Amino acid sequence: MSTRARLESRLNRIWYDGDPVPAWAALGERVYRTLLGLRRWIYALGLRRSVRLPVPVLIVGNLTVGGTGKTPLVAWLATELRRRGWKPGIVTRGYGAAAHDPQRLPPGAEPAEYGDEPVWLAHATDCPVAIGRRRAAAARLLIERDGVDVLVSDDGLQHWSLARDLEVVLIDGQRGFGNGRLLPAGPLREPQERLARVDAVVVNGGQREGAFPMQVRAERVLSLRDLAQARPLSGFAGQRVHAVAGIGNPRRFFDLLRSHGLVVDPHTYPDHHAFDGSELKFDDNLPVFITEKDAGKCAPHADGRIWVVPIDVDLPSEFGDLVHRRLHALKGNA
């Protein structure tokens, strides 16, 4: 296990499993809280200003570190907005990308160059996607080159340099806010009170008063060697399989497979892990299941045992109505 994987495992036990918070983490939390407050004042006093773009900006983010299902929600929103007549573009930091300057993803973009999540979003939505640490600069590429009329930002709730018109926060229905503490003593990037200032809250796999429920489901699997070859996921019920995941919350992926009756042998790697193929080799001929997010990085190592599990997201129509209505109101006031 790598040093990063050991650290993630240790922090998850502290944040979610009740392990005591060590002194170094408690001290770090106080420092983090002070820096967070200082940053708020810098923007409040106008010492730094948020960039306002000529089209509405919808931020999809979370209060916690780690996987909540945020990227699938971004894909759902972009697809839903296009269905309702908008021309959405997606902007994201592009974590793990080799490219440092703002760039629009070209056709056939590779995860090693542009990051795993941006490549998956481009493939899943067929919408233009741009990456960049300076999200405003990345967003301008989509406005100027693609004529988008709304921008969906994957993450960026705490990226205050980009002005936003709507904020959607996603909560993990299983893990919630963990021990409720700020980084690094807990998983929170901002205090829970931040929820009172967002436009909508979505809960992935759970219920919360005033929040929209989101369900993630999987019905089929695709051969990594030939994505045109599909099988029903239920066809593997009762079989022992390897499940390999380099995502923020691998447990959610493993539980999804188990809910279909698969006997899962889990293999966990850090989020955005760069697969070299060794992670997919086992001393047996059991099927190997991977996530869509990891598929692009695993593609060079494809063989007939490896299956990709595409997911579908279900959300109430009222959520799409709310976003559509508020965007139209912004357009009317422009």
CATH code (residue 203): 3.40.50.300
Cβ-count burial of 257 within 10 angstroms (0-12 exposed, 13-18 middle, 19+ buried)? buried
DSSP 229: -
Return the pLDDT at 332. 62
- pLDDT for res 3: 80
Same-domain check for residues 295 and 264:
yes
Alpha carbon 286 to chain centroid distance?
29
Secondary structure element (H or E) that encloses residue 38, with its range = helix 23-44
* 120 and 61 in a common domain: yes
Which residue reads 């902007």 in tokens? Answer: 91
User: Total structural domains in the chain?
Assistant: 2
pLDDT at 1: 62
Per-residue pLDDT of the chain (334 residues; tens, 9 = 90+): 678 778 888 999 999 999 999 999 999 999 999 999 999 999 999 999 999 999 999 999 999 998 888 999 999 999 999 999 999 999 998 887 877 789 999 999 999 899 999 999 999 999 999 999 899 999 999 999 999 999 999 988 999 999 999 999 999 998 999 999 999 999 999 999 999 999 999 999 988 999 999 999 999 999 999 999 999 999 999 999 999 999 988 999 999 999 999 999 999 998 889 999 999 999 999 999 999 999 999 999 999 999 999 999 999 999 999 999 999 998 766 5
Is the pTM higher than 0.95? The answer reads no
301 in the same domain as 158:
no
Domain that holds residue 72: 57-215+314-333
Assess if residue 13 is contained within a domain: no
pLDDT of residue 333: 61
Which H or E run contains 171?
strand 166-172
Cα separations in angstroms, 12 against 4, 16, 59, 304: 12, 6, 26, 34
Angle between helices 70-83 and 317-333 (to 10 degrees): 60
161 in Cβ contact with 50 (< 8 Å):
yes
Same domain? For 144 and 131 the reply is: yes
Residue 14 belongs to a domain:
no
Within a domain: 134: yes
Residue 11 falls inside a structural domain: no
